[in-house]
Structure 1
Amino acid sequence: MADTFIADDVHHLACGVCPSRRLPLGEFDVNERPTRDCPFNPADGYRYTADGVPVCVHPHKVGLPVGKYKTDGTPLQVKLQLPNSEAELVPYLHDVLYGAAPVLLDDLIAQATAEISRVFPAVDVVATLRRALG
């Protein structure tokens, strides 16, 4: 059996009944918010699509972009969008990296490394990432 997406992390922001706490990535969808299309099932605490797919409705809590990962097999992708000013860089990166799903961190750090150099050529990338992660 595959590991759950969020395994035994009691401090994680995901809701206690979120499918991410019991299912691996790819076995549930992520919606932007609760909707009537995905009603709550009090028997197990999940929300489900009409086809019976479990749905997380708080993407900001699980650190995943909205996607039909189970329903459509949507691949997990995230695009880093740096702020316009250097002064906002460290706080932005801190929020993005600490709010991201662990499975996204390698890709986000690689994107940050490339994009910081491109957008802010005078910035020390390693020092900036250290401050953001510190």
Structure 2
Amino acid sequence: MADALVTGGNHRSCGSRPSRRLPLGEFDVFERPSADCPFDPADGHRYTADGVPVCVHPEKVGLPPARYKSDGIPFTAELELPVSPADLDTYLRQVMHGAAPGILELLIEQAVREIPRVHPEVNVIQALRRALD
């Protein structure tokens, strides 16, 4: 039987996470384990009845729950910038550090476009450096 947990280090992910082995869009993300995505002890992964790999910890993979592979749902990233520029660093840090790698790229691109529009007084590069540090 496959070990379902990653051991050692400070890894936030479990060993059965499809995001560790598959590209974005090639797996679904469920809110929690359920009968709709049983654990397969033979390989240590969860699958839908149709055989689509499933992650059941959206907070660890950095994606909201959705049937990305099953339903062909595209990935989107929507920044909701705070009204006050004083809150920008905290907001960006939370969003950026919790995002999946592919989503992170989309968020950075969006931040480069939107921060100057919403907060023209903010240096975008410095804000992103602080957020990603």
Deviation (angstroms), 1:43: 2.2
Task: Determine the C-alpha separation between the residues in 2 that align with 1:125 and 1:16.
Answer: 36
Work out whether 1:74 is the aligned partner of 2:73.
yes
Runs of 4+ in structure 1 displaced over 3 angstroms?
Answer: none
1:55-101 Cα shifts (integer Å, max 9, x gaps): 00112211223222221222222211122332221121112112222
For residues 133 and 24 of structure 1, the distance between their equivalents in structure 2, rounded to whole angstroms, comes to 22
Deviations 1:36-61, CA, capped at 9 Å, x for gaps: 32222222222221222110011221
TM normalised by structure 2 equals 0.79
- Contact 2:24/2:102 (<8 A) preserved: no
| Contact kept? 1:86, 1:120, Cα under 8 Å | yes
- The secondary structure found in structure 2 opposite 1:43 is coil
After superposing the two structures, state which structure 1 stretch, 36-45 or 52-61, moved more: 36-45
Amino acid at match of 1:16: G
Question: Which residue does the alignment assign to 2:88?
Answer: 89
Which residue does the alignment assign to 1:21? 20
In structure 1, the partner of 2:111 is 112
Q: Which residue of 2 aligns with 1:103?
A: 102
State the shift of 1:16 in Å: 1.2
1:65–1:78 contact (8 Å) kept in structure 2? no
Report Cα offsets for 1:112-131 as digits up to 9, x if no partner: 12222222222222221121
Scaled by the length of structure 1, the TM-score of the pair is 0.79
What corresponds to 2:47 in structure 1? 48
* Identity within the alignment, %: 63
Q: Whole-Å Cα distance in 1 between the matches of residues 47 and 105 of structure 2?
A: 30
Counterpart-to-counterpart distance in 1, 2:123 and 2:22: 39
Cα shift at 1:12: 4.5
Match of 1:62 in 2: 61
